[in-house]
């Protein structure tokens, strides 16, 4: 595939992702994963997991960071050099934020008139469960491999992400600290990174 075709596919894919994402960075993860890992098969599941981890510990919105890294990785995996990787990053990043920019630009003019109406509140309340479901789907996608090829879905653990019992203990500890103690995500990420260095 030539450069222009791949860049156009990147732009189209991330523009659609940006257009249909509600709920912020973590909600966007399942859409990116379904497109670039399962549908387009541009990158592997383990590579996507690494991209998510890097996106969380680098400054900026996690959804935008993930798009930037994916754009670079897609160009690299297609055999293009570093400069084209940067161009892929730029393309994916601009494509994913463009829909939000345009929508906010339009809605900013009418929000003040309609934000207290019952219809607007009803729409917002109906979107919240969908956002929760998308975040949950993104979480499950990093734990389980789900194949829909046959009549019955096949579900298996992603061994690349959870290679042994130590990884499960780290996961369980982070989950418990987050739910029970309301621990800061920054503390959890830092602690998990240190444990990863020590244990692996």
Tens digit of pLDDT for each residue in 159-195? 777 778 888 888 888 888 888 888 888 888 888 888 8
pLDDT at 151 over 90: no
Q: Which of 27, 44, 41, 32 is nearest to 160 (CA)?
A: 44
**Stretch among 68-77, 134-143, 185-194 having the lowest mean pLDDT:** 134-143
Q: What is the mean pLDDT of residues 28-47?
A: 87
Cβ contacts of 117 within 8 Å, gap of 6 or more = none
Q: How many of the other CB atoms lie within 10 Å of CB of 51?
A: 23
Alpha-helix residue ranges (DSSP H) falling in 20-164: 25-33, 45-57, 62-77, 82-114, 118-141
Question: Could you give the CA distance from residue 45 to residue 145 in angstroms, rounded to a whole number?
Answer: 9
Domain coordinates in residue numbering, the chain:
3-118
Residues in the chain: 200
pLDDT at 111 over 80: no
pLDDT at 11 over 90: yes
Q: Which residue has the higher pLDDT, 141 or 190?
A: 190
């Amino acid at each position: 595939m030539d450069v222009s075709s791949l860049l156009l596919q990147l732009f189209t894919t991330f523009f659609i992702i940006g257009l249909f994402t509600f709920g912020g960075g973590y909600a966007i993860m399942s859409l990116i994963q379904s497109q670039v890992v399962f549908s387009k098969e541009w990158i592997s599941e383990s590579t996507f997991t690494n991209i998510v981890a890097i996106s969380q510990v680098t400054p900026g919105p996690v959804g935008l960071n993930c798009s930037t890294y994916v754009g670079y990785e897609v160009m690299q995996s297609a055999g293009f050099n570093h400069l084209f990787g940067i161009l892929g990053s730029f393309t994916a990043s601009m494509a994913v934020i463009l829909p939000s920019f345009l929508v906010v630009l339009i809605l900013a003019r009418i929000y003040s008139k309609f934000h207290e109406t019952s219809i607007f509140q009803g729409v917002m309340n109906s979107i919240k469960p969908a956002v929760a479901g998308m975040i949950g789907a993104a979480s499950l996608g990093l734990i389980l491999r789900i194949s829909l090829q046959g009549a019955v879905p096949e579900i298996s653990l992603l061994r690349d992400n959870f290679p042994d019992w130590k990884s499960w203990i780290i996961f369980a500890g982070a989950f418990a600290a987050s739910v029970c103690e309301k621990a800061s995500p920054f503390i959890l990420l830092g602690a998990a990174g240190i444990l990863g260095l020590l244990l692996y």
